[in-house]
Amino acid sequence: MVKNKLFAILLCMITLLCGVLSAVPVSAQTYTVAQVQSLCDGIVAYNGYHSAQDFIDGYLSDNAGTMSEFYILALSQSGDHDFSRYENALLSYLDDHSVASATSREKYALALASVGSTDRYITDTADEAIGGMGMMSLVFGLHLLNNGYTSRLYSTDGLLSEILSREMDEGGWAVMGSWGDVDVTAMTLQALAPHYGGRGDVTDAIDRAITWLSERQLDSGGFKTMGAENCESAAQVVMALSALGIDAQVDGRFIKNGTSVMEAMLDYRLSNGGFSHTGSDGNATATVEVFCALTAYRRMRYGQSGFYLLDHVNHSSPSDKGAGGSGHSGGSQSGGDSGSRGNAPSNRSDSGSGGADNSGDSHVEYDSSGNRIITINGQRFIESTNAAGEKVTVNVSETEGRPRETRVFSDEHGDFQSGATEDTALHAASADESGSGGYKPYAILGVVAVAGGVCAVLYLLKKRNKKHYIAVAVIAAAGILFILLTNFESSEEHYQPQEAEGDFTVTLSIRCDTIKDLEKKNNMVPDNCIILDTTEFTASSGDTVYDVLQNAVRSYRILIDNRGSDGAAYIAGIDGLYEFDYGDLSGWMYRVNGDFPDVGCQSYTVREGDKIEWLYTTNIGKDLV
pLDDT in tens, 334-345: 233 332 222 222
Residues 218 and 93 in one domain: yes
382: confidence class by pLDDT, cuts 50, 70, 90: low
Flag whether pLDDT at 248 surpasses 50: yes
Other CB atoms within 10 Å distance of the CB of residue 20: 9
Separation between Cα atoms, residue 251 and residue 383, nearest integer Å: 53
Q: Report the 3 state secondary structure along 137-168.
A: HHHHHHHHHHCCCCCCCCCHHHHHHHHHHCCC
What pLDDT is stored for residue 439 in this prediction? 66
Residues 142 and 279 in one domain: yes
Q: State the residue range of the domain holding 478.
A: 440-487
Residues 468 and 514 in one domain: no
Separation between Cα atoms, residue 163 and residue 201, nearest integer Å: 11
- Mean pLDDT across 563-573: 75
User: Which pTM does this prediction carry?
Assistant: 0.55
What pLDDT is stored for residue 424 in this prediction? 32
Closest CA to 110 of 315, 288, 283: 315
Residues 408 and 478 in one domain: no
Give the least confident one: 140-154, 368-382, 409-423.
Answer: 409-423
Separation between Cα atoms, residue 450 and residue 463, nearest integer Å: 17
The two beta strands, 560-562 and 504-511, are unpaired
Flag whether pLDDT at 624 surpasses 70: yes
pLDDT in tens, 12-22: 443 343 443 33
Flag whether pLDDT at 383 surpasses 60: no
Give the residue with greater pLDDT, 169 vs 59.
Answer: 59
Count of the separate structural domains present in the chain: 4
419: confidence class by pLDDT, cuts 50, 70, 90: very low
pLDDT in tens, 510-531: 999 999 888 877 778 888 999 9
Instruction: Pick the last residue of a domain from 280, 296, 329.
Output: 329
15 domain residue, yes or no: no
317: confidence class by pLDDT, cuts 50, 70, 90: very low
Give the least confident one: 226-230, 258-262, 566-570.
Answer: 566-570
Evaluate whether 259 touches 41 at the Cβ level (below 8 Å): no
pLDDT in tens, 466-508: 888 898 899 989 888 887 766 555 455 445 555 556 789 999 9
467 domain residue, yes or no: yes
Give the least confident one: 155-169, 348-362, 391-405, 525-539.
Answer: 348-362
Residues 32 and 51 in one domain: yes
Residues 577 and 534 in one domain: yes
Angle between helices 120-128 and 102-114 in degrees, nearest 10? 140
Residues 66 and 166 in one domain: yes
Give the least confident one: 67-81, 234-248, 378-392, 421-435.
Answer: 421-435
Flag whether pLDDT at 53 surpasses 70: yes
12 domain residue, yes or no: no
Evaluate whether 334 touches 342 at the Cβ level (below 8 Å): yes
Give the least confident one: 90-104, 136-150, 554-568.
Answer: 554-568
C-alpha separations of 69 from 107, 166, 295 in Å: 7, 27, 14
334 domain residue, yes or no: no
What pLDDT is stored for residue 500 in this prediction? 54
Separation between Cα atoms, residue 576 and residue 526, nearest integer Å: 11
CA 156, chain centre distance (Å): 21
Evaluate whether 607 touches 504 at the Cβ level (below 8 Å): yes
What pLDDT is stored for residue 225 in this prediction? 80
Evaluate whether 282 touches 270 at the Cβ level (below 8 Å): yes
Evaluate whether 434 touches 423 at the Cβ level (below 8 Å): no
What pLDDT is stored for residue 562 in this prediction? 82
Residues 382 and 517 in one domain: no
Separation between Cα atoms, residue 379 and residue 396, nearest integer Å: 8
337 domain residue, yes or no: no
What pLDDT is stored for residue 421 in this prediction? 35
Burial class (CB in 10 A: 0-12, 13-18, 19+), 281: exposed
Flag whether pLDDT at 108 surpasses 80: yes
pLDDT in tens, 587-623: 899 999 988 886 788 888 999 999 999 999 987 777 8
Evaluate whether 437 touches 431 at the Cβ level (below 8 Å): yes
61 domain residue, yes or no: yes
Q: How high does pLDDT run on average in the chain?
A: 77
For residues 22, 24, 28 and 32, what is the CA-based torsion angle, rounded to 10 degrees?
Answer: -130
For residues 508, 513, 516 and 520, what is the CA-based torsion angle, rounded to 10 degrees?
Answer: -60
Give the residue with greater pLDDT, 49 vs 98.
Answer: 49
Closest CA to 455 of 429, 441, 474, 433: 474
Separation between Cα atoms, residue 366 and residue 568, nearest integer Å: 35
Evaluate whether 182 touches 216 at the Cβ level (below 8 Å): yes
What pLDDT is stored for residue 561 in this prediction? 86
Give the least confident one: 20-34, 37-51, 243-257, 266-280.
Answer: 20-34
Separation between Cα atoms, residue 390 and residue 487, nearest integer Å: 28
DSSP state for residue 209 in the 8-state scheme: H
6 domain residue, yes or no: no
Residues 52 and 162 in one domain: yes
Separation between Cα atoms, residue 128 and residue 137, nearest integer Å: 11
Secondary element (H or E) of residue 40: helix 33-46
Secondary element (H or E) of residue 210: helix 200-216
Separation between Cα atoms, residue 213 and residue 180, nearest integer Å: 10
CATH number, residue 591: 2.170.130.30
Residues 219 and 356 in one domain: no
What pLDDT is stored for residue 66 in this prediction? 85
CATH number, residue 109: 1.50.10.20
81 domain residue, yes or no: yes
Evaluate whether 219 touches 257 at the Cβ level (below 8 Å): yes
Residues 249 and 357 in one domain: no
Separation between Cα atoms, residue 384 and residue 390, nearest integer Å: 8
314 φ/ψ sector (left φ>0, alpha ψ -120 to 50, else beta): beta
Separation between Cα atoms, residue 21 and residue 15, nearest integer Å: 10
The proportion of the chain whose per-residue pLDDT surpasses 70, expressed as a percent, equals: 71
Can you say whether the dihedral through the CA atoms of 322, 326, 327, 329 is positive or negative?
A: positive
pLDDT in tens, 151-199: 999 999 999 999 999 999 888 998 876 788 899 999 999 999 999 999 9
- Mean pLDDT across 42-46: 93
The proportion of the chain whose per-residue pLDDT surpasses 90, expressed as a percent, equals: 45
What pLDDT is stored for residue 447 in this prediction? 87
Give the residue with greater pLDDT, 102 vs 219.
Answer: 219
What pLDDT is stored for residue 621 in this prediction? 78
What pLDDT is stored for residue 460 in this prediction? 87
What pLDDT is stored for residue 240 in this prediction? 97
The two beta strands, 228-230 and 223-225, are antiparallel
Flag whether pLDDT at 123 surpasses 50: yes
Separation between Cα atoms, residue 530 and residue 338, nearest integer Å: 27
Give the residue with greater pLDDT, 545 vs 621.
Answer: 545
Separation between Cα atoms, residue 144 and residue 140, nearest integer Å: 7
What pLDDT is stored for residue 501 in this prediction? 66
Residues 321 and 454 in one domain: no
Separation between Cα atoms, residue 398 and residue 414, nearest integer Å: 25
